[in-house]
Amino acid sequence: MDPESLLEELCRRHGVAPRRGARLLPLVRWALKGPDETRERILAVVEETLAGKGRRRAKSLEQAAEEAILTAVARVLHDWTPSEDILDLDGGGPGGAE
């Protein structure tokens, strides 16, 4: 299924007009390109966002989309381990004060 059709189906499932869910399209595209586990996590965030969109005002819709994106990124980065250069808070690493 292509991202546009999937988002349209998710919007329909949650009673949200497709134009209101359009901000989540980049997130759906990203989900469909990733491995199964990542796809499931991101699409769960999209669904959670759409489930709440029917109950929120327009300003809150933008905040919900931003939260969905931040949550998805946080879930991906949760398993990330920073490199030594990033952990070097003295500034001795690349780009730091010397």
| CA atoms 9, 13, 18, 21: torsion sign | negative
> Does 72 have pLDDT greater than 90?
no
pTM over 0.95: no
Cβ atoms 52, 44 nearer than 8 A? no
> Does 59 have pLDDT greater than 60?
no
Which pLDDT tens digit goes with each residue over 2-29? 999 999 999 999 888 988 888 899 889 9
The total of other beta-carbon atoms located within 10 Å of residue 64's CB is 20
Spatial distance between the Cα atoms of 13 and 19, rounded to a whole number of angstroms: 14
Domain ranges of the chain: 3-80
> Does 94 have pLDDT greater than 80?
no
Spatial distance between the Cα atoms of 63 and 29, rounded to a whole number of angstroms: 20
Q: In the prediction, which pLDDT does 98 show?
A: 47
Which tokens in the block code for residue 33? 């390109």
